[in-house]
Amino acid sequence: MSRPNIDWPTLGFDYLRTDLRYLSHWRGGAWDGGTLTGDNTLHISEASSALHYGQQCFEGLKAYRCRDGSVNLFRPDRNAARMHRSSARLLMPPVPTETFIDACRQVVRANLGYLPPYGTGGALYLRPFLIGVGHNVRVASAPEFLFSVFCFPVGPYFKGGLTPTNFVVSRYDRAAPNGTGAAKVGGNYAASLLPGQEARGQGFADGIYLDPETHTKIEEVGSANFFGITRDGKVVTPRSPSILPGVTRDSLMYLARERLGLEVEERDVYVDRLGDFAEAGACGTAAVITPIGGVQHGETFHVFHSETEVGPVTRRLYDELTGIQFGDVEAPEGWTVKVE
């Protein structure tokens, strides 16, 4: 049953308090059994490491209502695996994959009234996160940890859905060489706030980050991964140790190769070679796929898509991916987990 005060077709990407969320604590070397709570306020020590030293990581995934009324989680095991890597990078205890997936399923079941109906294009966004808490003012790992999952209904991340959007190459770095770029940690996103604001102030959706060492290669598009379609039909995505390994990016590369029969390359993408691409896009859990209409680099504005026309390969990838997520297209084995 949907909530009468939610206008599904106009949903954006904003927080909306839902009924219940999952909460679990790590103390004395072990996780407790976890629980669902109606309290959306965290109660933690003022000396928590998450507040002072950024010891925290998070994930993002979605639940989708299918035509037959069932509910899909899309590749939650990949999000659990990435949280394992992020938590290891920040000296935090891993959340077991089974616990991670079970917590997500519990939260979806407890908030089914907020799940957008099939056909609206919306989904239920889940935000699992892991933070260091307890009394600790030294630059050291926290004595306790908190794992939580909350959710809220969402529509398109960028307004207009699958509509070409323009970006500008940023003068800032997203991450440092050998830093935390490949981990999904809050500090990476805090560093992106000012560049994003400057990009929007110039009339663009967001900034495009170059590699921090040479500033010659594209790494990420705001908070999403970059992909391009070459003029001879290859699907290309950047390779770098400071890029977040996106679940959506990985899925699109698989689908391009196995379902569309296209050649896929993970390699350096030089910003002065944008002319090699006939199409380009940003991809991620929040954005799904956002076609890149054009990129402003210095004095040059490179156009990929017109203001209204989406390239054929980008469209096919989008249709295949969203078809799988909403249960209209057969999923590769293990890609979807039924909630009910």
Residue type, 208: I
Opening angle at CA 160, ends 256 and 4, nearest 5: 110
Q: DSSP secondary-structure letter at 271?
A: G
The token duo for 187 is 């500090």
Residues 6+ apart with CB under 8 A from 168: 199, 202, 204, 207, 208, 295, 296, 297
Count of CB atoms situated within 10 Å of the CB of 249:
22
The stretches of the chain forming alpha helices (DSSP H) are 49-52, 76-89, 97-110, 186-190, 193-201, 247-258, 312-325
Residue type, 159: K
State which amino acid sits at residue 126. Answer: L
Give the C-alpha separation, 281 to 92, whole Å. 34
H/E stretch holding 71 reads: strand 71-74
Tokens of 100: 């991670």
For residue 245, count CB atoms less than 10 angstroms from its CB and return exposed for 0-12, middle for 13-18, buried for 19 or more.
middle
Is 62 one of the catalytic residues? no
Spatial contact of 54 and 186, defined as CB atoms under 8 Å apart: yes
Q: Beta strand pairing status for 300-303 and 288-297?
A: antiparallel
Short-list 148, 157, 90, 93, CA closest to 122: 157
Q: Out of 184, 217, 234, 338, pick the active-site residue.
A: 184
Which residues are known to be catalytic? 184
